Homo-oligomer: A and B are copies of this chain.
Amino acid sequence: MSTLAEQLQKMETHSSVFESAVRQLPLPVCAAFGSATQPQAVSFASSPRVLSTKDSDSVARSFPNSVQASGNVVLSSSGTNLQAAQGKRVAVLFSGGPASGGHNVVCGIKRILGKGNTLFGVRPGPRGLLKGDLFEITDADIDSIINTGGFDFLGTDRTKIKSEKQFQQVKDTCIRHNLDAIVIIGGDDSNTNAAVLAEYLFKDVKADGSGVQVIGVPKTIDGDLQIGDLLPISFGFDTATKIYAEMVGNILQDTRSSLKYWHFIKLMGRSASHVTIEVALQTKPAVTLISEEVAEKKQSLSSIIDQIAHAVVTRADKGLNHGVVLVPEGLIEFIPEMHALIAELNDAVAQNAVEFAALHDLARPMFIQNKLTPDNATLLASLPDYIVSMLLAERDSHGNLQVSLIPTEQLLIDMTARSIKEIDASISFTAQSHFLGYEGRCGAPTLFDAAYTYNLGLTAGSLILDGRTGYMATVTGLTAGGFPQAIPLTGLLNIERRHGHDEFVIEKALVKMDSPAMKYFVSRRSEWAADDLFASPGPRQLWGPAAYQQPISVALNSASESLAFKIG
């Protein structure tokens, strides 16, 4: 170690002791790429597998070039690419919320492109692509970002490229920078965008009539971009859930140490509860709510409160006046009666906008209650005042409530407290609330995410050098060494009615009630509720015996033999 003064100074350039050490960590590569120190681009060949959705015919009409070229056939790596292209100019960008491992995707692409091609970074995100804000990525950049968390090397944004004008701007950027390919690192929406761009840029972009290749890379901490064994998990999920699981494990140890608190912890994930179920499997808290189950069983808010109160009372009988409740961020919208209430409120507020706006805040609840159907009026009346205020507060530009602003965890605490008081006022129930979100998006990647993303980058780069477009890079067989593959994006597209017109979408993967992870959780949860059987999985380790772990839900759902992953 260097001296204290030097160490402190270095930190200001992202070189804390950890950051400096983690950059030196060697990364394994799939056997297909040859040696870890000198990975070689692979070529791809058709696998027997063809993808389709209910809308494949319509998709084929809208994406004629892409579908004709790919036939929606999954590609597998087929040996070192001896005719790998040279002189390609490739741009890479992040799209949507950040996720750990993004930097390593960039490193993998750069590594495969080698000296014979040029890699440009686009900043920030799709907005940067529209503006044409590109810079050449150097080997020194790679040395500095490898194995570090965040998307801060390029930044990101959430601009959606959908208008004709925007497509033209992208084309202009391609022409101005003489690009041959674009890699979009993003979630379901961003990969849909990649499919659309791939089709748009398929040909006739450059003077010689050639097009620009577009490759997607699957990212999202929410874990809702999954395609069976072709994509068991997107990158960033493992790091985020391990960060949350450590915090939840720490809090669980605190509950059994302090012996007097319940903690209600909301976890990021608005659409799906993958994050919540993974954290539950890692830590085994007393109560875990799964949005998809609530919707499937048509649970009411009061039945959820009953479930929590039951756990509180059962544990109190055993002298356990403490526990943890995990709450997925999107829960409220999955409760059918809340969904109905919010929909009717949106309508009622819109239909009585002038009168409503003129009323004093305090008069609004009574006014609106009289406009509701009896069930909804009763439900509204059962909610704490501050929730009612929020439900009647500002709508977004579409006239919808911003459900994400509702503090679900506090709502559950207050309603549980009320319920406990009615059941047995002598039971001690003191609760704290937490929301774990931003903390998990940009942490240093776990070894799983670090290795996975580096190989995703090697795969994406190989696809480009193999002349492919309209594919999402993937690495399958994550416990068997890892195999570079490519998923034809058009094979994933569905058509959904959104805001009054048809849109192409990649369907979000939700937690399935019959998945092995869900079944395991269901088989154990009553025991976890009744006693302290929790685990504290600790800080993620980059060195030593605890470093090689894949997500538990992925291990269960893919029938892995153990928690260990194996790449390379």
Seen from chain A, the residues whose Cβ lies within 8 Å of a Cβ on chain B are 1-4, 7-8, 11-19, 21-22, 24, 94, 97-98, 124, 148-152, 155-157, 243, 246-247, 249-251, 253-254, 256-259, 261, 263, 281-282, 284, 432, 434, 438-444, 520, 524, 527-528, 533-549, 552, 555-556, 560-564
> Which of the residues B4, B441, B527, B538 comes within 8 Å of A555, measured between beta carbons?
B4
- A-B contact sample (12 more), CB < 8 A, given A434-B439, A541-B543: A4-B560, A8-B281, A12-B284, A16-B537, A18-B539, A19-B535, A98-B257, A152-B253, A246-B443, A253-B443, A261-B438, A442-B536
**Chain B residues positioned under 8 Å from A556 (CB to CB):** 4
Top 7 A-B pairs, shortest CB-CB distance: A543-B544, A150-B253, A18-B538, A253-B442, A151-B257, A152-B256, A539-B539
**Chain B residues positioned under 8 Å from A537 (CB to CB):** 11, 16-19
Closest to A563 in B: B7
A-B contact pairs, 6 of them (CB 8 A): A15-B535, A16-B538, A148-B253, A151-B258, A155-B256, A263-B438
Given contacts A256-B152, A563-B4, contact A535 B14 (CB under 8 A): yes
Given contacts A1-B562, A564-B1, contact A254 B148 (CB under 8 A): no
Q: Are A254 and B438 in contact (CB under 8 A)?
A: yes
Shortest C-beta distance, A317 to chain B (Å), equals: 18
Query: Could you tell me the distance between the alpha carbons of A256 and B536 in the complex, rounded to whole angstroms?
Result: 30
Given contacts A257-B150, A438-B251, A563-B1, contact A14 B536 (CB under 8 A): yes
Closest to A528 in B: B12
Q: Are A98 and B254 in contact (CB under 8 A)?
A: yes
Shortest C-beta distance, A456 to chain B (Å), equals: 18
Shortest C-beta distance, A388 to chain B (Å), equals: 16
**Chain B residues positioned under 8 Å from A18 (CB to CB):** 536-539, 541, 546
> Which of the residues B2, B21, B546 comes within 8 Å of A21, measured between beta carbons?
B546
> Which of the residues B7, B24, B263, B443 comes within 8 Å of A539, measured between beta carbons?
B443
